[in-house]
């Protein structure tokens, strides 16, 4: 099986983090290594998290196996099952197992996890004293339940309560001993903990709070536990769930640098570059993790480097917790206690058993603790990770996403209470019952599934939150709440950021290059990633363009209509025009028998119903009359709306029209992550609606107020005030710099409004206002990017570029 | 009489792009894949008659420009969860020329 041409990779630790890395690696580079896995447990890899439901009789061991013995065989992996590695010889690059097996490695991956931390109490070695970590522990508990009655669990944390709940389900009489006066003190504040304790007591669990254990009683087997106040409790089984101990003795004994865990870099490498380590046994940037979400992210990065791709970085993870006790909903994330610089939003209804607390610093969520109603946990957690500024909906945030009226993220009413025929997706006309039925009948689990099967939220996306809530509501506990990294599309596992970084750092030149170097799963990508990648490529290299990866509107430089014809919108800088311009447009309309014309909301004229083959001819005439494309069809700079300003208006303070024209001359043609609109109003009456534009200027007597991040579309958002400037030159400079920052930072198809909400205005201020050198550099880059994009695409095509596109091949039955 | 019609030189169709062949009765979109496989499909999406020729091609399918249905260029069937089918036609490439098996024009 082993192949001498390949390198040898050895994994020590057949657990969740290590095996995830192997799976990720197989996806990237299935043929690169001869892989050997050592695991000291006598099983394949199982889902350790699910031991709690196994103990509670809700799942069987078979159901929680992730990779059985066959899997290892099918993937040509040598599996040293039940073998403990006792030594690593770094000089000879060998690992040595307990039974004497010796194997050489080129690359080594250590994922030894952790062990239960056992309190060093007298009597801790007695029979019936165990931790809660692996299948063996679960077996011990299940057997104890057959023969004994009383169980004591030390530790009122997540693990302790799950153990206690499971033992209760096995029929034992369970007492939880906790040293503090409040349960789950690492995850919950006192109020929520009290509510939790009451519901667990109602289920029959007993508690001894503020009890410090002193001695374990019994002869050979445990019979009880004595506390430091002299009191005692009977016990036939004693489970210690007071914490975990990263398992790094092996790594340490071989000389790798360890502190609280094996110290690793952002590439998951230890101090020996041939040795990687991940999982609970490592310490990364001072942090040791005990939950799977961070470990899975680490696994991706380690696999990326083992595959020698070299661009993955692990930068730490914000974690959230849920308790897996059926019937109890609890969610906590981040810092839920706060300090003097933080504010607290609190909702408590003891009667209905609901408690919600959000901790804010400068209107950004830094922690949340929910009990009873955890439906909005994911929403809060996402905003916390994104650093969303919540000041706009601070007064209603505790009522949940559902409460943000329809200008909000879309949830109008609690999904559960909605009528079956309530329309959820306005674009595709999909009502609640259709979605719920599809979820249950077709066994859908993810948002993408629902989109594929019902089209709900697949268009404008404003009902995404509602659809997610419906999923959560319909699936109950099966819906995975923790939002993980979202990949760009199904062709890749990488996020928008990762693709961009990949293109930048690896200097990728074209689509082929991106798909090869970044390990796309499909040969040609799909309509989603091709368009995004095309933008990211041209953003790095303004001359780049792959027409076949553009949406038809950008390829044909017009908006495709439902009958396959196109619309043509010539640019009218600042909305200004002359009689000659209007004559020219009228002539074109007559000559080509344009069926309909309209003055658009963007202050210019739209001609509808033009046949594709006529487009170059229409453009030729328009181009000869001095018009260029209005880009009304592109993810591009669209229009700069202006008002008449001080040239005529009695209220005008500045020449808003001429500033608008200058801004439009500066920015026209620019390809953007999404459409991009500007406006200049001559006074605060704001007739050009500058405060709902991506970049808006409101002239005042003493200068120019700059506003950014507005949106007048699906979800109306008023701009944020950026800065006040004195001169038109400054306005132009800031406009170019802001536009360029947006071009370089936003995800494809993310308008400035959601972008600013995601990254925060402060980041934009830091880049564009505070750092002058950076602003000038952004300005320069914008100007460079404009050179190729201001060669009018209409004129180019009228002059014959890509003329085949517009000509069909005619065949007649001659 | 042969019913293969010569329609264009291969280079006249862009890679991962298409040309429209107009006949008296039907418009046919002719696509060229990365390995120069040529596909011909009726230029009408089974959803709402969107012009498939204007979509983005990938692998052996095309995404319709109007509402993003994915249509197989091999079978004419809508892929994924959508249901519907449109006609496909036989093609061949010889000496750098693309031929279409004459549909009943
Ligand atoms: C023609 C026009 C309506 C009109 O008759 O006035 C129009 C027409 C379309 N708009 Fe619009 N929008 C037009 C002004 C607007 C405005 C008003 C404005 O710009 O001041 C808005 C709200 C302002 C804003 O964008 O913030 C607007 C918000 C949208 C949106 C929602 C964008 C959003 O971020 O929420 C879409 C959908 C999208 O972009 O995904 C959209 C999409 C469309 C599309 C492209 C629909 C489509 O995807 O095919 C329509 C194309 C019609 C065509 O074939 O030409 N249109 N659209 C306006 C053209 C302006 C121009 O001269 O370029
Ligand atoms: C009961 C329970 C419930 C949990 N619930 C949750 C939850 O709800 N959510 C959550 O995020 N996390 C939960 N966790 C934590 C989660 O399971 C761990 O974070 C995760 O399993 C750690 O993965 P790992 O690969 O680092 O370690 P492990 O999964 O422990 O794997 C390490 C493996 O290495 C083996 N090994 C160690 N040393 C050697 C050696 N020298 N030679 C060979 N093999 C060796 C071990 O036997 C073990 O199989 C829970 C844990 C438990 C025990
Ligand atoms: S023009 Fe705009 S508002 Fe009108 S139907 Fe089209 S997308 Fe909707
Ligand atoms: S017409 Fe093709 S997807 Fe609607």
Higher-confidence residue of A135 and A413: namely A135
User: Which residues fall within 8 angstroms of residue A705, CB to CB, at 6 or more apart?
Assistant: A697, A698, A699, A721, A724
Ligand 1 centre from A247 Cα, in Å? 58
| Predicted pLDDT of residue A738 | 98
Which one of the ligands is nearest to A712 CA?
1
Mutation choice for B interface testing from A442, A804, A811 by most B CBs within 10 A: A811
Distance separating alpha carbons of residues A346 and A330, to the nearest angstrom:
15
Chain length of chain B: 105
Distance separating alpha carbons of residues A796 and A811, to the nearest angstrom:
28
Mean per-residue pLDDT, B38-67: 94
Asked whether residue A255 carries a pLDDT value surpassing 90, the answer given is: yes
Structure tokens at A588: 């074109």
Higher-confidence residue of A449 and A237: namely A237
Q: In DSSP terms, which residues pair with A103 in a beta bridge?
A: A95
| A571 Cβ closer than 6 Å to some ligand 1 atom | no
Percent above pLDDT 70 for chain A: 95
| Predicted pLDDT of residue A482 | 40
Among the partner-chain residues A453, A524, A810, the one whose CB lies closest to the CB of B22 is A810
- pLDDT band at residue A483 under the 50/70/90 scheme: very low
Q: In DSSP terms, which residues pair with A150 in a beta bridge?
A: A173
Among the partner-chain residues B17, B21, B67, the one whose CB lies closest to the CB of A548 is B17
What count of CB pairs under 8 Å joins A to B?
A: 90
Provide the chain A residues 513-572 that lie in CB contact (below 8 A) with chain B. Answer: 522-527, 530-531, 547-552, 555-556, 560, 562, 564
- pLDDT band at residue A404 under the 50/70/90 scheme: low
Higher-confidence residue of A66 and A643: namely A643
- pLDDT band at residue A476 under the 50/70/90 scheme: low
Report CA dihedral (A477, A479, A481, A487) to the nearest 10 degrees.
160
Mean per-residue pLDDT, A683-705: 95
| Predicted pLDDT of residue A429 | 72
Over the stretch B74-105, which tens digit does the pLDDT of each residue have?
999 999 878 889 999 999 999 999 999 876 54
Asked whether residue A671 carries a pLDDT value surpassing 80, the answer given is: yes
| Predicted pLDDT of residue A559 | 94
Over the stretch A330-369, which tens digit does the pLDDT of each residue have?
888 888 777 888 898 888 887 777 888 999 999 999 999 8
Asked whether residue A66 carries a pLDDT value surpassing 50, the answer given is: yes
List phi, psi (to 5°) of A645: 65, -160
A809 contact residues in B (CB cutoff 8 A): 7-8, 19-22, 30
Is residue A570 within 8 Å of residue A606, measured between CB atoms? no
Asked whether residue B48 carries a pLDDT value surpassing 60, the answer given is: yes
| Predicted pLDDT of residue B105 | 47
Distance separating alpha carbons of residues A25 and A7, to the nearest angstrom:
14
Is residue A278 within 8 Å of residue A264, measured between CB atoms? yes
Question: Which of A10, A16, A302 to probe ligand 2 with, by most ligand atoms within 8 A of CB?
Answer: A16
Ligand 3 centre from A544 Cα, in Å? 31
Which one of the ligands is nearest to B65 CA?
4
Mean per-residue pLDDT, A532-554: 95
Among the partner-chain residues A548, A556, A808, the one whose CB lies closest to the CB of B20 is A808
- pLDDT band at residue A512 under the 50/70/90 scheme: very high
Asked whether residue A405 carries a pLDDT value surpassing 50, the answer given is: no
| Predicted pLDDT of residue A668 | 97
| Predicted pLDDT of residue A406 | 37
Distance separating alpha carbons of residues A771 and A119, to the nearest angstrom:
54
Percent above pLDDT 90 for chain A: 68
- How close is the nearest chain A Cα to the Cα of B92, in Å? 17
Mean per-residue pLDDT, A214-238: 95
Ligand 1 centre from A714 Cα, in Å? 10
Interface predicted TM-score of the whole assembly (ipTM), two decimals: 0.70
| Predicted pLDDT of residue A353 | 78
Over the stretch A88-144, which tens digit does the pLDDT of each residue have?
999 999 999 999 999 999 999 999 999 999 999 999 999 999 999 999 999 999 999
Of A324, A387, A331, nearest to A361 by C-alpha is A387
Over the stretch A698-722, which tens digit does the pLDDT of each residue have?
999 999 999 999 999 888 899 999 9
B58 contact residues in A (CB cutoff 8 A): 522-527, 530
Q: In DSSP terms, which residues pair with B29 in a beta bridge?
A: B20, B41
| Predicted pLDDT of residue A411 | 41
Asked whether residue A454 carries a pLDDT value surpassing 90, the answer given is: no
Distance separating alpha carbons of residues A570 and A618, to the nearest angstrom:
10
């Amino acid at each position: 099986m082993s192949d001498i041409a390949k390198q040898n990779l050895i994994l020590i630790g057949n657990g969740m983090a290590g095996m995830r890395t192997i799976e990720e690696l197989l996806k990237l580079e299935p043929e690169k290594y001869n892989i050997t896995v050592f695991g000291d447990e006598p099983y394949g890899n199982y889902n350790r998290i699910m031991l709690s439901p196994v103990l509670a009789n809700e799942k069987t061991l078979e159901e929680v196996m992730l990779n059985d013995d066959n899997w290892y065989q099918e993937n040509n992996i040598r599996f040293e099952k039940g073998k403990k590695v006792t030594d690593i010889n770094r000089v000879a690059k060998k690992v040595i197992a307990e039974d004497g097996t010796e194997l050489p490695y080129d690359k080594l991956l250590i994922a030894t996890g952790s062990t239960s931390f056992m309190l060093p109490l007298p009597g801790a070695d007695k029979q019936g004293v165990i931790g809660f970590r692996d299948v063996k522990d679960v077996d011990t508990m299940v057997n104890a339940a057959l023969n004994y009655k009383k169980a004591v669990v030390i530790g009122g944390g997540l693990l302790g309560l799950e153990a206690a709940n499971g033992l209760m389900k096995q029929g034992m009489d369970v007492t939880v001993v906790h040293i503090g006066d409040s349960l789950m003190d690492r995850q919950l504040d006192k109020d929520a903990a009290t509510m939790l304790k009451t519901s667990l007591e109602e289920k029959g669990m007993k508690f001894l709070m503020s009890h410090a254990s002193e001695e374990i009683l019994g002869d050979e087997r445990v019979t009880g536990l004595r506390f430091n106040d002299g009191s005692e409790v009977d016990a036939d089984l004693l489970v210690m769930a007071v914490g975990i101990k990263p398992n790094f003795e092996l790594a340490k004994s071989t000389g790798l640098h360890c502190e609280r865990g094996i110290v690793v870099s952002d590439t998951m490498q230890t101090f020996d570059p041939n040795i990687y380590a991940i999982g609970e046994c490592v310490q990364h940037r001072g942090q040791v993790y005990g939950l799977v979400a961070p470990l899975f992210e680490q696994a991706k990065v380690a696999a990326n480097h083992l595959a020698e791709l070299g661009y993955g970085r692990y930068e730490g993870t914000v974690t959230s917790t849920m308790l897996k006790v059926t019937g109890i909903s609890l969610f906590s994330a981040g810092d839920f206690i706060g300090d003097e610089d933080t504010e607290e939003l609190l909702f408590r209804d003891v009667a209905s058993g609901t408690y919600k607390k959000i901790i804010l610093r400068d209107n950004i969520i830094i922690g949340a603790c929910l009990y009873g109603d955890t439906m909005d946990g994911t929403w809060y957690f996402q905003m916390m990770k994104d650093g969303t500024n919540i000041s706009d909906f601070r007064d209603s945030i505790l009522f949940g996403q559902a409460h943000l009226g329809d200008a909000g993220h879309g949830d109008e009413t609690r999904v559960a209470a909605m009528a079956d025929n309530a329309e959820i997706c306005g674009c595709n006309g999909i009502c609640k019952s259709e979605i719920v039925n599809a979820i249950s009948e077709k066994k859908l689990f993810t948002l993408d599934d629902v989109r594929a099967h019902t089209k709900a939220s697949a268009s404008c996306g404003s009902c995404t939150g509602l659809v997610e809530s419906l999923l959560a509501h319909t699936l109950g506990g099966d819906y995975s709440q923790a939002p993980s990294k979202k990949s760009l599309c199904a062709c890749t596992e990488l996020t928008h950021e990762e693709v961009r970084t990949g293109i930048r750092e690896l200097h990728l030149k074209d689509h082929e290059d991106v798909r090869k170097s970044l390990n796309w799963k499909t040969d040609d990508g799909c309509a989603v990633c091709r368009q995004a990648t095309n933008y990211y490529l041209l953003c790095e290299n303004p001359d780049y363009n792959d027409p076949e990866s553009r949406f038809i509107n950008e390829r044909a430089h017009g908006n495709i209509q439902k009958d396959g014809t196109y619309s043509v919108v010539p640019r009218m800088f600042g909305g200004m025009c002359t009689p000659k311009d209007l004559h020219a447009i009228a002539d074109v309309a007559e000559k080509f028998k344009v069926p309909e014309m309209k003055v658009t909301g963007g202050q210019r004229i739209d001609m509808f119903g033009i046949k594709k083959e006529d487009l170059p001819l229409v453009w030729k005439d328009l181009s000869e009359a001095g018009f260029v494309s209005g880009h009304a069809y592109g993810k591009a700079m669209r229009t700069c709306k202006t008002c008449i300003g001080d040239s005529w208006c009695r209220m005008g303070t500045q020449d808003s029209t001429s500033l608008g024209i200058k801004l439009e001359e500066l920015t026209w043609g620019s390809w953007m992550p999404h459409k991009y609109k500007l406006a200049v109003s001559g006074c605060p009456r704001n007739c050009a609606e500058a405060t709902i534009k991506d970049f808006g200027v409101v002239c005042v007597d003493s200068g120019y107020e700059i506003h950014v991040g507005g949106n007048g579309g699906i979800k109306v958002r008023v701009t944020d005030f950026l800065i006040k400037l004195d001169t038109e030159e400054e306005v132009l400079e800031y406009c170019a710099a802001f536009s360029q920052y947006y071009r370089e930072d936003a995800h494809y198809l993310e308008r400035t409004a959601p972008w600013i909400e995601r990254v925060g205005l402060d980041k934009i201020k830091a880049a564009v206002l505070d750092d002058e050198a950076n602003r000038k550099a952004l300005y320069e880059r914008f100007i460079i990017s404009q050179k190729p994009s201001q060669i009018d695409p209409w004129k180019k095509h009228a002059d014959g570029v890509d003329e085949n596109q517009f000509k069909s091949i005619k065949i007649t039955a001659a | 009489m042969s019913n293969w019609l010569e329609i264009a030189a291969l280079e006249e169709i862009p890679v991962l792009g298409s040309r429209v062949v107009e006949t008296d009765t039907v418009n046919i979109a002719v696509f060229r894949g990365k390995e120069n496989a040529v596909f011909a499909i009726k230029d009408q999406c089974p959803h709402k008659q969107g012009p498939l020729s204007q979509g983005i091609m990938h692998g052996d399918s095309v995404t319709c420009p109007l509402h993003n249905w994915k249509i197989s260029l091999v079978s004419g069937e809508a892929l994924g969860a959508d249901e519907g089918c449109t006609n496909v036609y036989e093609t061949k490439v010889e000496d750098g020329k693309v031929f279409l098996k004459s549909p009943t024009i």
